Amino acid sequence: MNNILVLPMAIPVLAGIILIFFRPYIKLQRWISLCVMIVNAGIAIYLLNRIQAEGIVGLNFGGWEPPFGIVFVADSFSAILILTTSIVAAICLLYAFSTIGKDHENMFFYSFVNFLVAGVNGSFLTGDLFNLYVCFEVMLVASYVLLALGGKKVQLKESIKYVVINVISSWFFLVAIAYLYGMVGTLNMAHLSERIAESGQTPLLTTISIVFLTVFALKSGLLLYYWLPGSYSAPPTAVAALFGALLTKVGVYAMFRVFTLLFYHELSFTHTIIGVLAGLTLIGGSIGAVAYRDIRQIISYNVIIAIGFILVGLAIATPEAIEGSIYYLVHDMIVKALLFLLAGSMIMLTGTARIDYMSGLIRNYPLLGWMFFIVMLSLAGIPPLSGFIGKVLVGQGAVETGSYLLLALAFLSSIVVLYSLLRVFLNCFWGETIISEEDERPQKKGWLIPCAILTIATIGLGLGAESLAPYVSNAADTLLNPDKYIDAVLYD
Amino acid sequence: METLITILSGVLVTVATYLILSKSVMRVILGTAILSHAAHLLIMTMGGLKTGSVPILGEGDSNVDALPQALILTSIVISFAVTAVSLVLAYRIYKETKTDDLYELRGFKDE
């Protein structure tokens, strides 16, 4: 029992509501939302250390013992993700301060960012399947608004597509919940895990697990990603960075939770399907990343490749591979936000998104160029940077279990990532500059500082992996031993 | 009774699928609303439609399972919210592009 668990979701919700009443005071709105994210990061660090010391922390709302009430559960995996979410959201807010513009700020932009973060944190914390659905919806409704805010034609067109896709995937989610409740008569995840273990995961339960897989595949862009590049390239940069860093990752988190805690008895069936889907995602994402000449499309397809890579780790499901996936998940949230911010800055400086029309930017904006270079190396998995350790661990797991096809696809996709971004780098930063001295717009500090913080974070995560290691191995340990989760929730 | 409700929710899914596949934005939104109500009926049926009394202590022997009703209540609220958001979105699309046809929304010059 610990009331601090509710804060990562409650603080943003309350802040979001309060900010509605402070509509004219934009400065105040900015500082309140930034403070919320920083406080959340602090709570996440506290939770991480506490979980390390005394095991999984749970909260039964209203004192109702599980499985009867709603529970929040924090293990290392959720705490790590909340920490990363808070950091990334804080930095996207910093970037938004100087770029998003008065129109957005007056239309409750900061409130909706807070609601989005509340939904994301709630999804990470909840220990109840229906509550997971509710938190998903909180996050999605906020994201619908953020995507459509601004009202450009392309945004409206992409939002209607995005809304319909997500309503249909939520419908599948409800159907899966209904069938699962009909089969086993509970929705508390720990209790579900116990009941499913008792029945030994019958074929019907496996079928339900495939419905869940469809739902989370739609939400996270695993194979069913056709909606993703359009809707992630339509909104303003700061919003796109938030989407790219957070939204798909919640689907990935849910997939990890459901397929390690609930449906882990038929590995040869469910996890083979996940492996196949991950492989196809890697191939499809790679083709997309190379095919386009619009920088926003290229980086959106990079999001898809990363999803494929992370789920390769889940498909292999050895301790190393799961650890690797967790490292890569954290790395990807940070690096994708950075990539979207850098690409957005390039578009704002040159006024075009086509890489053919950009050239020689590194002469005018050296720092931007070097940061793009670093993020490219980090995504490709060059050693001192943060992408490396995840790739090594997933690779190690793949070799151990002999899944060489997945290994080959995962590492070939890294080369494609490197190639697609190198092409952007060569086209946009090298060569004759297209911006003459008098046309050159000064780089604002408000654009550079958020990017610089994220660049330092990706270097720091690579060099300081040692200090994160105990938390990550604890998280992987909990994921692979569902008994620990069940004991902490039901028998504490 | 269970069979009847299951068939009813199947009919609703059929209607919703037909509406979602049409090209008018309004029909698509109505389709998604009907789709979520089909899911609510399904939750109700899967929880079991016992003809018992209210789930209060000392009120008869067989009680109705209260959980599916709580789930549906939450879910209906969410589905209202999403439908409201998408209706506003449809209105904005109509104001901006003067069309209700999804096919005409493909490809703008300023993309």
At residue A412, the pLDDT reads 93
* Residue A364 identity: N
Taking only the tens of pLDDT, chain A with its 492 residues reads 588 999 999 999 999 999 999 999 999 999 999 999 999 999 999 999 999 998 899 999 888 888 888 899 999 999 999 999 999 999 999 999 988 888 889 999 999 999 999 999 999 999 999 999 999 999 999 999 999 998 888 899 899 999 999 999 999 999 999 999 999 989 999 999 999 999 888 999 999 999 999 999 999 999 889 899 989 989 999 999 999 999 999 999 999 999 999 999 988 999 999 999 999 999 999 999 999 989 999 999 999 999 999 999 999 989 999 999 999 999 999 999 999 999 999 998 888 888 888 888 888 888 999 999 999 999 988 888 888 999 999 999 999 998 899 999 999 999 999 999 999 999 888 888 777 766 677 777 888 899 999 999 999 998 988 899 999 999 999 999 999 999 998 887
Contacts with A, B 72-101, CB within 8 Å: 74-75, 78, 81-82, 85-86, 89-90, 92-93, 96-97
User: Per the CB < 8 Å rule, is B96 touching A151?
Assistant: yes
Shortest distance between the Cα of B11 and any Cα of chain A, in A, equals: 15
At residue A1, the pLDDT reads 58
The rounded distance, in Å, linking the Cα atoms of A424 and A432 is: 15
Encoded tokens for B106: 């493909």
- In sequence order, the 6+-apart residues with CB closer than 8 A to the CB of A279 are A308, A312, A405, A406, A409
Given a cut of 60, is residue B109 above it in pLDDT?
no
Of A227, A209, A320, give the one whose Cα is nearest residue A271.
A209
The rounded distance, in Å, linking the Cα atoms of A278 and A309 is: 7
SS3 category, B96: helix
- Could you tell me if B36 lies within 8 Å of chain A, comparing CB atoms? yes
Distances (CA, A) of B11 to A170, A419, B77: 19, 50, 22
- Could you tell me if B63 lies within 8 Å of chain A, comparing CB atoms? no
Candidates B45, B85, B90; nearest CB to A145: B85
Domain boundaries, chain A: 3-434+444-491
Given a cut of 70, is residue B59 above it in pLDDT?
no
Domain boundaries, chain B: 1-49+63-105
At residue A173, the pLDDT reads 95
The rounded distance, in Å, linking the Cα atoms of A155 and A296 is: 14
Candidates B46, B67, B89; nearest CB to A163: B89
CATH architecture assigned to B1-49+63-105: Orthogonal Bundle (1.10)
Q: Which residues of B touch A140 (CB under 8 A)?
A: 82
With beta carbons less than 8 A apart as the criterion, state whether A274 and A259 touch: yes
At residue B104, the pLDDT reads 84
Token pair 């104001």 in the structure block, residue: B95
- The chain B residue lying nearest A233, using CA atoms, is B111
Of A276, A294, A405, give the one whose Cα is nearest residue A356.
A294
Given a cut of 70, is residue B111 above it in pLDDT?
no
Candidates A140, A153, A177; nearest CB to B108: A153
The rounded distance, in Å, linking the Cα atoms of A256 and A250 is: 10
The rounded distance, in Å, linking the Cα atoms of A404 and A410 is: 10
With beta carbons less than 8 A apart as the criterion, state whether A273 and A213 touch: yes
SS3 category, B99: coil
Give the residue from B6, B26, B78, B91 with the most A CB atoms within 10 Å of its CB, the best one to mutate.
Answer: B78
Question: What phi, psi does B55 have (nearest 5°)?
Answer: -80, 65
DSSP bridge partners of A128: A188
Q: Which residues of B touch A182 (CB under 8 A)?
A: 45-48
Distances (CA, A) of B90 to A73, A391, A474, B32: 39, 44, 47, 13
> Quick one: average pLDDT of B46-74?
79
ipTM of the complex: 0.93
With beta carbons less than 8 A apart as the criterion, state whether A82 and A124 touch: yes
Cα A278 off chain centre by: 16
